[in-house]
Amino acid sequence: MAQKFVSSRSLETLEREELVGKVRSLLAEADALSSRISAVNEIGVAINRELNLNKIVATVGRQAKWLLDFDHLSICLRDEETRDWQVRVLYGEPISPVDDWTQTETLGKVLLTNQPLLLKDGTSATFLADYPSQIMIPLTTDGKSLGAIVFACKTASKYNTDDMRIAYILSLQLSPAIRNAQVLHQLERTQQELKLRVEELDAYSHTIAHDLKSPLTSVMLSGEIVLMKYADVLPQDAVESINLMRDSASQMSSMVDQLLMLARLQDLDEMITTVNVRYTVDRAVARFAPIIEEKNVTLQIADKLPDVLGHAQWVEEIFANYISNAIKYMGADNFSPCIKVYSSDELIGDGFIRYNVQDNGVGISAEAQEKLFEMFTRLHTVKAEGLGLGLSIVKRIMGRLNGRLGVESTPGKGSTFWFALPIADKRK
Amino acid sequence: MVAEYTAIVVDDDDTLGTVFKMGLELLGFTAHHVSDSRTAITEIERLQSDLIVLDMNMPHVTGKEVLQQIREHESLAAAKVIIVTANARAAEELEQTNLADLVLVKPVTMSQIKDMASRLIGIE
């Protein structure tokens, strides 16, 4: 009787032990799985911090070994330039190159179908022929195929569906990271190319403008020489023709100067210094001496013209442009044309001073004012000279010197063109 | 204007060189044009020019080098040199060095040439 009791008790214990054993092993499995998932997340965090493709794949190579214990890890991505599939080995022996990966039995199929692959007992494919256990997971983003990640082991039946799931979760982290890295790299390359192009164009236009000056000089001087020698004996229309040629050459010369000025503005070697404004005004005015006299323009230049921080030649250019505009918009029936040049501190921030060139000409409508500083704008009433770049060059100069500019005008009453630059502090 | 003053134009651009020569002749100079900067200094010495118009932008021997050669030459100490350049920035730098008597930026006008001739040589 006692024996029977013992055996039934043993049976229960046995069953209970079995159960406990099973539960323990299931818990252990769940635990292992959850650790692996955490590890995948950690890898995910690590690679999402990176924007460099090489660093991303290196991180995966290092940290995934724990997850899937592979003998071989490689990643298949498109080559940036050729757009061909390339396989990069991240761990394990090197592989023999293949011309067209889409032709391979295993990887090719994964690339073409975007379906994952799990192998346990080897493959007839030549790629990774020595590795019976393989997991290949396609990498996709937004429906686009980026490539695939390949895990392989020399032991058979190494991987099961759980391993494949882990690899899949890893691929979900990897794909966007790779995509971002690729996009960023492409952007950087485009930026570099653009920069080189701009530099090329700048150098090109600078050289052409520079070289044009010689033939221009020949044309202009020859015109002058012919007139100096033969104006007395030439018929009037011949003289006229020659003067037309000289005018055109003069226009071309202005355009060339504007192009060169634009080129100089890009040049980072040009330095910002203290500018003697009085001197620049005098020089700018001197350029227009003949026409100022011809049109009987009264010029009033203020005594107080404080020095500013800028670039002497460019400040001179601004004054020349403003004075040129003032002369142009004088109006045919203006009997006492007048241009005033003076400084003021109206509405200007701390440490800045404003310079004004005011005329009593025809004025500019609000509508036209808006387009004034844009490139290639010419107001209909005025005969154009040069490329129409004048005021847009002024705008660029002020951009380069970190100053401000503007115009105030009332049609019929005249205009005031102004610009503002930092005062040059003599104490500094 | 008496043709007792000589001028020499050193410019590899044949057209421009000829035009400068014509302009100088119009002002009364006996003018010559040298297009090869390598032989420039020999020619300048041979002709003992009063005025030298020198283009900066030349192949082989540059305008700057010819200028140096002129200044190092004793017999040419009295010669007046006018530099002609297309490059405004180079012109600024050259003015600082005082090697040239005058620096002109292209395009150059007859009145500029006339002006410099009277200033440097004292003619007309």
Mutate to test the interface with B, among A210, A219, A221, A267 (most CBs of B within 10 A): A221
DSSP-assigned letter for residue A271: P
Chain B contact for A229, CB < 8 A? Answer: yes
- Residue of A214, A220, A224 with shortest CB distance to B86: A214
Nearest to A308 by CA among A279, A265, A347, A332: A279
Residue B2 has pLDDT above 60, yes or no: no
Distance CA A75, CA A182 (A): 14
Residues whose CB is less than 8 angstroms from the CB of residue A401 and which lie 6 or more positions away in sequence, other chains included: A272, A309, A310, A311, A314, A421
Q: Is the pLDDT of residue A2 over 70?
A: no
Which among B22, B87, B107 has CB closest to A220? B107
- CB < 8 Å from A in window 93-122 of B: 106-110
The answer to whether the CB of A147 falls within 8 A of the CB of A83 is no
Q: Which residues of A touch B86 (CB under 8 A)?
A: 210-211, 213-214
pLDDT over threshold 50, residue B113: yes
What is the pLDDT, as a whole number, of residue A387? Answer: 47
Determine the Cα–Cα distance for residues A235 and B118; give it in Å rounded to an integer.
31
Classify strands B6-10 and B30-34 as parallel, antiparallel or unpaired: parallel
> pLDDT (tens digit, 9 = 90+) per residue, A62-85?
888 888 899 999 999 998 888 899
pLDDT band at A8 (very low <50, low <70, confident <90, very high): low
Q: Provide, as residue numbers in chain B, all residues whose Cβ is less than 8 Å from the Cβ of A211.
A: 86
pLDDT (0 to 100) of residue A239: 94
- What is the per-residue pLDDT across A289-322, written as a single tens digit (0 to 9) for each? 888 888 889 999 998 898 999 988 889 989 998 9
Task: List helix spans (H) across B1-124.
Answer: 14-26, 37-47, 63-72, 88-97, 110-121
Query: Which residue in this structure is represented by tokens 């350049």?
Result: B85
Task: Give residue A12's Cα distance to chain centre.
Answer: 77
* Residue A211 neighbours by CB distance under 10 Å: 14
pLDDT tens-digit map of A34-55? 888 888 888 888 888 888 999 9
Chain-chain contact of A222 with B86 (C-beta, under 8 angstroms): no
Q: Which residues of B64-79 are buried (b: 16+ CB within 10 A; e: fewer)?
A: bebbebbeeeeebeeb
Determine the residue among A210, A216, A217 to mutate to test chain B binding: the one whose Cβ has the most chain B Cβ atoms within 10 Å.
Answer: A217
pLDDT digits (tens, 9 = 90+) for A83-117: 899 999 999 999 888 889 998 889 999 999 999 99
ipTM, interface predicted TM-score of the complex: 0.89
What's the Rg (C-alpha) of chain B? 13
CA separation, residue B66 to residues A388, B46, B85 (Å): 39, 15, 14
Sign of CA dihedral B89, B87, B64, A268: positive
Report the pLDDT averaged over residues A131-140. 94
Residue A385: pLDDT over 50: no
Q: What angle do CA B45, A217, A245 make, to 5 degrees?
A: 145
